[in-house]
Structure 1
Amino acid sequence: MPEEAPAQQASGERVPVDVAVGVLIDGGGRFLLTSRPEGKVYAGYWEFPGGKLEAGESVEQALRRELHEELGITIGAVQPWRIEVVDYAHARVRLHFCKVFAWDGAFEMREAQQMAWNTLPVDVSPVLPGTVPVLRWFAEERGFSGPTHAAT
């Protein structure tokens, strides 16, 4: 998530910052969540990994770069999934969620974050607000009717 002050439109509405988000899913259907590192907004909250698009980057290019920078992996095919706009106190973000089923390399937590493979309900908390819709989407896809995460 962005750390700087968000841009403003003439109407006073904050311009969303585009963020590529990787929803890594392993062969058993588990998905990867990582914790936000110390020093960042929402440090310690769990989220799907990714980061801001740089000037001229596509969502896929940004996702490949971010997952290599943060996790040390090289991802395979990227499947664009859904887009969600989330208003945080510090920024408005447009999250481009992409499913990823294949990657190469060993996971390295290059920002001293933690990682956890999860199913529903997730067993890590607190969960970043922008992550909650994805857990609902997984529940819909998988016919899961229980709570998707612990209340934060």
Structure 2
Amino acid sequence: MTKPVLEVVAGIVWRGGEYLAVRRPDGGPMAGWWEFPGGKVEPGETREQALVREFREELDVTPLEFEYWRDLRHEYDEFSVHLHFFHIRQYSGGLKGLENQLMAWVDPSGPLQLDFLPADTVIVEALHS
């Protein structure tokens, strides 16, 4: 049986040399893990449109300057995820966790102290190298 493949966008938001990490809210799938904000690409949506929509829905901001960086696939037990990562250098609005998620700014030159989702580990390691 073939596992479903989820097409997902994720934004690496930069502020003064640090990037934004978001903790998945309690009660939802994979609660408690840290990740890069973003979400599923809906049918008929471009990746860029999905990125803007997800940031508005989750964090009440609109990405203004962003560029595609890289993609990766990760296998979970029940599904596969195909992640498309964007660097976001500028956005409008004030960051608010609209889904009651915690947020943290991470210094990539320091040690990593957050438990990121397994799918994001490769990206985190690349940012910290």
- Fold equivalence (TM over 0.5): yes
Residue 42 of structure 1, CA deviation: 1.1
Q: Structure 2 unaligned runs (5+)?
A: none
From 113, 116, 120, give the equivalent of 1:131.
120
From 98, 112, 122, give the equivalent of 2:112.
122
Residue 14 of structure 1, CA deviation: 2.0
Whole-angstrom CA distance in 1 between matches of 2:86 and 2:13: 8
Runs of 4+ in 1 over 3 A off after TM superposition: none
Question: Rg: which structure is higher?
Answer: 1
Matches within 5 A, 1:3-22: 12-22=1-11
2:76 aligned with 1:84, yes or no? no
Comparing both structures, which one devotes a greater share of its residues to strand?
A: 2
State how many pairs are aligned: 127
Give deviations 1:76-130, integer Å, cap 9, x for gaps. Answer: 1220011010111232110000110001111111001000000132232x22111
Whole-angstrom CA distance in 2 between matches of 1:15 and 1:89: 11
Q: Structure 1 unaligned runs (5+)?
A: 1-11, 145-152
Give deviations 1:27-63, integer Å, cap 9, x for gaps. Answer: x210000000122221010000000001100111000
Higher relative contact order (CA 8 A, sep 6+): 2
Whole-angstrom CA distance in 2 between matches of 1:23 and 1:122: 15
Aligned-pair identity (%): 36
